[in-house]
Structure 1
Amino acid sequence: MSLPDRPGVLGQVARSFGVLGADILQVTVLEREAGRAVDDFTLSWPGGFAADDLRERLSVVPGVRIEGVWPTREVPGASPDYDLLGHVVSDAERAFVTLVDAVPDLVSAEWAVAVDSDTGTVVHGSWQAPGVEEMPDLTPLRPSAFSEGPLHLLSLPVKTAGLHLVVARTEGPAFHQVELDKVVRVVEIIALLAGAVPHQRPETAA
């Protein structure tokens, strides 16, 4: 949700959610710039509303704009990033397999894949990843957040493993810089933890 970055607006939004029967479980500030903020609200909302209905009902708060509404597997108050690092420490030989399987939950994404940096071949995918063997056009040289049609993507190299990580979602808005920064930092730590394991990387299996 994009809203004016001034005192009282967040309270108005919270009251509006309450009137609509939603319980706010978590608020994350994704961006603050030029007098506006982009906030990510995690709600417990029996029944819920479609995005268009929500836009209409929240129009009573001046300046509010809904960027997207989508279901999430994220559990407010949980620490999936710490859990991921704990799993990596306990089994460093599977560090990047564990990363690919777990990283979608860190940023409310749907799937992730590890791509061989040299060949563009997908060497491991999370359980919801599409059945593709190559992703040659989705691996920019530096960490990036971008969209390909309805597909929103995070893409970043893991140079020490010769891999490229691609994270995707189709529901909700494009990834924000704070989400990219979070994944970059987690990947940096995992690369350090896995560094003691020679040539450690995921492998395809028949």
Structure 2
Amino acid sequence: MMLRLRVSFPDRPGALGQAARVLGTLGADILQVTVLERESGRAMDDFTVSWPGTVDADTVRDRLSGVPGMRVEGVWPTREVPGAAPDYDLLKHVAADPGRAFATLVDAVPDLVSAEWAAILSSESGELVHRSWQAPRTLDETGGLAGVKAADLAPLRPAVLGSGRHRMMSVPVPETGLHLIMARTDGPPFHRVELERAVRVLEIVSIMSRTS
């Protein structure tokens, strides 16, 4: 079983090692550590870890939270394979068939940011143009797409959206009037590092799509 853990702790020598030791005592194999931020004397890192069997996320949270100054921001399943290059694989497939650029994007982009699904929709009508197989089928006027209405997509800038169980981000597709939506129901809100990664990939895919 592979999980992503988002952990905040004091930015001081030895703090990262404390988190690693706790995970080790739980039988975790740490596959990757991603630095998200170092601000105001605190650090926030994502750990990608694997266990030989199932693991109780609450136990992981409780054990890490028992370290003074350490906070667990989220524990959630991930499909991202450490050491792989899913963004390069995505761009390779888009280059091979730029006419399907956005359809390819929604299938592949969730693995880049530990999302569950992705969709591209019109910011004016809310019509779904492309969707990954896990995504909702419609954007209705009452509940919206997982709680987000088309009106929420009006600002032409990347944004973190949603409330309650739904963690979402929206990235406008340059010069199209479309928005890329990514969502997960587990884990913390999307971090700005994840948002920035999605923006960069989308910009390149958008340019490549115009060559078809």
CA drift of 1:148 comes to 2.1
Q: What is the aligned residue count? A: 197
Which 5+ residue runs of structure 1 have no aligned equivalent? 198-206
Amino acid corresponding to residue 31 of structure 2 in structure 1: L
Q: CA RMSD in A?
A: 1.5
In the other structure, the counterpart of 2:161 is 146
Structure 1 vs Structure 2: percent identity of aligned residues?
61
In the other structure, the counterpart of 2:175 is 160
Conserved in 1, the CA contact under 8 Å of 2:118 and 2:183? Answer: yes
CA drift of 1:70 comes to 1.1
In the other structure, the counterpart of 1:107 is 113
Amino acid corresponding to residue 110 of structure 1 in structure 2: E
What stretches of structure 1 move > 4 A for 4+ residues in a row? none
Conserved in 2, the CA contact under 8 Å of 1:139 and 1:166? Answer: no
TM-score between both structures, scaled by the size of structure 1: 0.90
TM-score between both structures, scaled by the size of structure 2: 0.87
CA drift of 1:137 comes to 3.9
Deviations 1:71-119 (A, max 9, x none): 1111111110000000011000001111111110100000011102331
User: Pick from 152, 163, 181: which aligns with 2:196?
Assistant: 181
Deviations 1:4-61 (A, max 9, x none): 1111110111111111110100111122211111111100113354333223222442
Deviations 1:131-170 (A, max 9, x none): 2145514424210013322101110111333311100001
SS in 1 for 2:82: coil
CA drift of 1:178 comes to 0.3
In the other structure, the counterpart of 2:184 is 169
Conserved in 2, the CA contact under 8 Å of 1:140 and 1:156? Answer: no
Cα separation, 1, equivalents of 2:62 and 2:177:
48
